[in-house]
Amino acid sequence: MTLRIYNTLTRHKEEFVPLESGIVKMYVCGVTVYDYCHLGHARAYVVWDMIRRYLATKYQVQFVQNITDIDDKILKRAQERNTTMQAIADRYIAAYDEDMAKLNIAKADDYPRATETIPEIIALIQQLIDRDYAYASGGDVYYAVQKFPSYGKLSGRKLEDMQAGASGRVDEHGDEKRYPFDFALWKSAKPTEPFWESPWGNGRPGWHIECSAMVRSRLGETIDIHAGGTDLQFPHHENEIAQSEAAYAKPLAQYWMHNGFVNIDGEKMSKSLNNFTTIRDLFVHFDPMAIRLFILQAQYRQPIDFTEEAIKAATKGWETIRDGMLFAADFAEKLGWQDIELPSRSVIAQAIASFEEAMDDDFNTSVALSHVFELAKKLRSERNSLLHSGKTEQSSETLFKEWQALSYMANTLGFVANISDRAEVKDGIADAQIEDLIQQRIEAKKAKNYQEGDRIRDELKSLGINLVDQKDGTTLWIRV
């Protein structure tokens, strides 16, 4: 099946054909670094990471994600804390990196910062002025939206229906504008604010122009995929199109992609509504991979509702997938598996065909995960059989193929499992402690201290651990 992607610009699913054979250029709008990331951010970056990973099974992907490190919100936070804009930005960039690493989100190939792209931004603004799409006024520079006939084509809005100041990002108090919906490309510096020199006076860039300049400087004038949250569709992405296409007379991106919101009580999660849950707050109570699973259980364009029941269900689901992924770590030696390296996609193509069919349908992870769970449940059942009886219902060769297919699919979706995941807190006792007590019991039985052996068995049973003594003198265990 050919990969098909829903293109926000055309409002249709379209066959994906990159501009350059074998290469995909993808740009994702990154965070404005003035606070900790919330679950809405987690959804966006887990989604784009999943899409990047799947694209990488077919193409060479050049993935760029910007950082907005100059913005009114950052300046306000710096003033509140009596520090600098850079100090605020650096603090929350570091926090972002920590949060994304726990969610197993791969590093972008480049993270351009707005403050590091000032020369390119100024050059782009000057180009727009030269082409009569922008004008300087009182130290500011504005984009003249009426000069761009197709303004509104991404969002489907018409100028007469729009409101100035959408998303709180467009300057609502521009007395020097020629038209109310013109937006700022350059803002003159206020007293005590950081600034850069420009042909129009000291100031700083507007939000929208930053991304247009960073796309151009890192990936070129036209890219394959431009992505971000649904809330960025207007005005941010609409304005990017107006800027870039006016400057270069070429499409900015072939495919525009937008992920849906995370809702709480029917409302979008956001800082402005004060109903957000930070990612790091969730990490205190839930495994990062359970959070990743919660996000991917819905198709990326659909809204998802965050509830305690939903995240707890995702936790149970993750434990099933995790145990399947760790099957080789648990039993490879016992089953005689010599080489447990993951195979190439072509080697297990038949086993993962249904998974890839779902992913090729606009990255439908909801359906793709059903195939992951099917294999994970089979392997978990075999795990229990091995722990209880030391035997499996299927051949070692079949189990190996199922584990390989599961691991490939889970890795493609960005899941990572480690033995230590099961060692940190499960029913009050860690795996290493269980193994220590079992060894103590074995030693007690060798010394014919059966009372101590029974005491250890009863202690483990009270913690939900059942022991299975084998004929060869070894002991298996299972959590119940």
211 is an annotated ligand-binding site residue: yes
**Bridge-based pairing state of the strands 223-229 and 23-28:** parallel
236 is an annotated ligand-binding site residue: yes
C-alpha to C-alpha distance for 384 and 378, rounded to whole angstroms: 10
Is residue 336 within 8 A of residue 308, CB to CB? The reply is no
Please give the full DSSP string across 264-310, using - where no structure is assigned.
Answer: ETTEE--TTTT---BHHHHHHHS-HHHHHHHHHTS-TTS-EE--HHH
Supply 291's token pair.
């959070």
37 is an annotated ligand-binding site residue: no
177 is an annotated ligand-binding site residue: no
Give the DSSP H/E element, type plus range, for residue 479. strand 475-479
Cα 255 to Cα 219, 252, 457, distances in angstroms: 15, 9, 61
29 is an annotated ligand-binding site residue: yes
Cα-only R_g, the chain:
27
Is residue 209 within 8 A of residue 117, CB to CB? The reply is no
SS3 state of residue 138: coil
For the beta sheet containing 183-188, the strands, ordered from the edge strand earlier in sequence to the opposite edge, are 134-137, 140-143, 183-188, 203-205
Task: Please count the other Cβ atoms lying within 10 Å of the Cβ belonging to residue 410.
Answer: 22
Hey, which residues does 257 pair with through a beta bridge? 227
Is residue 424 within 8 A of residue 460, CB to CB? The reply is no
Q: Which residues are annotated as a binding site for Zn(2+)?
A: 29, 211, 236, 240
Annotated binding site: 29, 211, 236, 240, 271
Binding residues for ATP: 271
